[in-house]
Amino acid sequence: MSDFERVTWIVLDSVGIGELPDAADYGDVGRSTLGHIAESRPLALPNLVRLGLANIAPLAHLPAAAAPIGAYGKGATHSPGKDTTTGHWEMAGVWLDQAFPTYPHGFPRELIAEFEKRIGRGTLGNKPASGTEIIKELGEEHVRTGKPIVYTSGDSVFQIATHEDVIPIAELYRICEIARKLLDGPNRVGRVIARPFAGPAGNFKRTMRRHDYAVDPPKPMLLDVLAERGVPVFGIGKIHDIYNGRGVQKYVTTSGNADGMTKMAEALQERKNGLIFCNLVDFDMLYGHRKDVEGFAESLEEFDRMLGPFLELMRAKDLLLITADHGCDPDPRWPTTDHSREYVPILAYSPGSGAGVNLRVRATLADMGQTVAQNFGGSIPHGASFLAEVTS
């Protein structure tokens, strides 16, 4: 019998809580996503605070809860790197020996030449860029020439942006599949991402038909273990893409954080058992990489407002985990828009159990995955479960 019949796991993409001990190796000394956003102005996060968020680390204007209703701690990333794939894979029990490659100066010319040969088109861009800015810069030329826009970021990604009226979605996806096969060996990027956009010149907008082509994670990892044990997994947001669909029986995409929270609430009403696994990407995509401190703050407050009614839907045999995959400190004191090498917050809540428990500093994000695995009678290669602490 499981201690919890249903686990809901929410990843607040990029919401780190302070530099890791090896931050100097990444140029990230002093970066703290939550810390600097909290310094920017008082935040209204009553639900996160009562769960124990401000008990994890000092946060300006947010006093620690005297009697937090959840268990609280923070997790270190054991694997090298600071990207979505690395963080999510580690949560599922996968440790990397080396970080996925990044391309701060663009992709090698010979790689782009081979890609162009295989797709039968030239390309534009080939540099790190904001997704919204590069379609402003090169969108009209793309429409005129039909050449896809190729760009990257501080993450290990090969992104391809095309206008839906110029290159149909099916063709964009085919081009991405070609890129995924090509990008192997030393150029084995974490994700190839289709980035379609639409609209007239001067008002290009990215559409909702983004699709990620991830590297297939090694076995065994958490979602494999749950599938073998017949535990249903419902993915919300980009979870399905991050794990290449492995072990995810059903999934839905989202148009943003609010939509993700709505779909999680619907899942609680419709799904009686198993794992509901959600990534909320707005923090990273809309605010962290764009260095929008106020937008990040407002997005945190929006999440907190929707979290209150969500907590009311939970049953005694439910467990909620809230965490992040890395940081993306938008503080303007740092010139980079890249992710940051940070601890991630860990909050665990179940009505009637685990209140006030200090989970301390966890040595690996896999501790969360091991907790989920143990709850459903399995185990994963790495991580120490804290299930006993949250069921006391």
Is 347 inside a domain boundary?
A: yes
pLDDT at 314: 97
Is 1 inside a domain boundary?
A: no
- Residues linked to residue 250 through DSSP beta bridges, in sequence order: 234
Q: Same structural domain for residues 171 and 311?
A: no
Distances 213 to 166, 201, 219, 232, 241 between C-alpha atoms, Å: 21, 28, 18, 23, 6
Q: Same structural domain for residues 72 and 144?
A: no
Q: Same structural domain for residues 144 and 231?
A: no
Q: Same structural domain for residues 238 and 259?
A: yes
Instruction: Say if strands 344-349 and 71-75 run parallel, antiparallel, or are unpaired.
Output: antiparallel
Q: Which tens digits make up the pLDDT trace of 5-64?
A: 999 999 999 999 999 999 999 999 999 999 999 999 999 999 999 999 999 999 999 999
130, pLDDT greater than 90: no
284, pLDDT greater than 70: yes
Average pLDDT in the 148-170 region? 96
Phi, psi of 335 (to 5 degrees): -70, -25
How many domains does the chain fold into?
2
Asked which of 199, 214, 229 is the last residue of a domain, the reply is 214
Q: Which tens digits make up the pLDDT trace of 210-243?
A: 999 999 999 999 999 999 999 999 999 999 999 9
Q: Same structural domain for residues 120 and 167?
A: yes
Q: Same structural domain for residues 90 and 223?
A: yes
The secondary structure element, H or E, covering residue 345 is: strand 344-349
Q: Same structural domain for residues 84 and 209?
A: no
84, pLDDT greater than 80: yes
Q: Same structural domain for residues 76 and 209?
A: no
Domain harbouring 118, CATH code: 3.30.70.1250
Distances 251 to 85, 138, 241, 272, 285 between C-alpha atoms, Å: 18, 33, 10, 16, 20
Asked which of 214, 230, 259 is the last residue of a domain, the reply is 214
Is 238 inside a domain boundary?
A: yes
pLDDT at 337: 85
Average pLDDT in the 274-289 region? 95
pLDDT at 175: 98
Asked which of 190, 214, 238 is the last residue of a domain, the reply is 214
Domain harbouring 29, CATH code: 3.40.720.10
Q: Same structural domain for residues 253 and 381?
A: yes
> How many angstroms separate the CA atoms of 256 and 154, rounded?
22
Residue type, 355: A
Is 121 inside a domain boundary?
A: yes
> How many angstroms separate the CA atoms of 256 and 151, rounded?
23
Burial of 286 (0-12, 13-18, 19+ CB in 10 A): middle
Is 103 inside a domain boundary?
A: no
Is 150 inside a domain boundary?
A: yes
Q: Same structural domain for residues 130 and 68?
A: no
What percent of the chain has a predicted confidence (pLDDT) above 90? 94
Q: Same structural domain for residues 178 and 305?
A: no
Q: Same structural domain for residues 27 and 81?
A: yes
Range of the domain at 155: 109-214
Is 104 inside a domain boundary?
A: no
pLDDT at 2: 81
Categorize the per-residue pLDDT at 154 as very low, low, confident or very high, splitting at 50, 70 and 90: confident
pLDDT at 1: 63
Burial of 235 (0-12, 13-18, 19+ CB in 10 A): buried
Q: Which tens digits make up the pLDDT trace of 234-270?
A: 999 999 999 999 999 999 999 999 999 999 999 999 9
Residue (of 320, 277, 276, 324) closest to 296 by Cα position: 324
Average pLDDT in the 152-167 region? 95
Is 102 inside a domain boundary?
A: no
180, pLDDT greater than 80: yes
